[in-house]
Amino acid sequence: MTLAPLRAALILSALSLVGCTTVGTTFSPLAAFEQSHVFVPSKYPYGNWHPKDLELEDAWFDSADGTHLHGWYCPHEKPRAVVLFLHGNAGNVTHTAEYLRSLHDLHQLTVMSFDYRGFGRSDGVPSESGILADARAARAWLAKRTGLRECDILLMGHSLGGGVAVDLAAKDNCRGLVLASTFTSMPDAAAHHLPYLPTNILMRNRFDSLRKIDQFHGPLLMVHGDRDRVVPYEQGRKLFARANEPKRFVTNAGGDHLQLVSKEYTTAMNEFLKQLPRLDPSDEK
């Protein structure tokens, strides 16, 4: 989940770059300031690392560049699907516990969540390229642990995690894609809060889901609160319009940026799972 407001991160990030970057220049003297506000990790031991009524297995694995990463793996005896959940720009894996419990108990899913580099118990310093690489490493670990092909993993992302999930799905495919409160791109989200600034030029971090999502050709479920003051509801609709069929959009009526679970979403999620492509046992590793 996104713990610190992404809205504040976007505003501070954009403001930090005013007067410090020019068109055609990729380096900003305050790039480090942008990084520190776009990525707001909570490091171990912050958080509840022993949530009740949730059986977890620690997952340790390395990203492509050798960065040591940590996640939580929550198996189900008879899973309807195997899910990699990608959280937002702040906090750590402990803040996903409630949603992991919902996915496991309500939807009968085996699920893994993990911390990007620099978050929780994971080593390193966060960056856009590093986080995207971390997601691939997490999916590889999950596929090996469950005996599935990587493309048979279901991807779910919230907020910034939605941008990570879109990148992974567009480039490497997946069984299905679920996005919650996801922006078209990070500069677009910043522009909503600072419309008078050329954020598309100023910001180094992109997470350009609008450019990538039409490269994915599998089932898509999107959910967005119509009172989301961090990532505008209209951005969710725009991203959805660019996506290929089959797809479904669910509006969380009155929902804000952090609201992931609602009656409408739970029903849609169950229907989405029923319609996922069947796994061919001969394709399992």
CA distance 94 to 92: 5
DSSP string for 46-65: SS-SS-TT---EEEEEE-TT
pTM of the model: 0.89
Architecture per CATH, 57-184+211-278: 3-Layer(aba) Sandwich (3.40)
Give the single-character DSSP code of 200.
Answer: H
CA distance 144 to 44: 26
Which pair of tokens denotes residue 114?
Answer: 């993990």
Question: Residue 151 to residues 6, 135, 143, 218: CA-CA distances in angstroms?
Answer: 30, 13, 9, 11
* Each residue's pLDDT expressed in tens, for the chain with a length of 285 residues: 444 446 555 555 555 544 333 333 444 544 765 677 789 999 999 999 999 999 999 999 999 999 999 999 999 999 999 999 999 999 999 999 999 999 999 999 999 999 999 999 999 999 999 999 999 999 999 999 999 999 999 999 999 999 999 999 999 999 999 999 999 998 898 887 777 777 777 788 999 999 999 999 999 999 999 999 889 999 999 999 999 999 999 999 888 887 777 888 899 999 999 999 988 765 555
Degrees to nearest 5, angle at CA 51 with 162 and 263: 50
Alpha helices in 94-159 (DSSP H): 97-107, 128-146
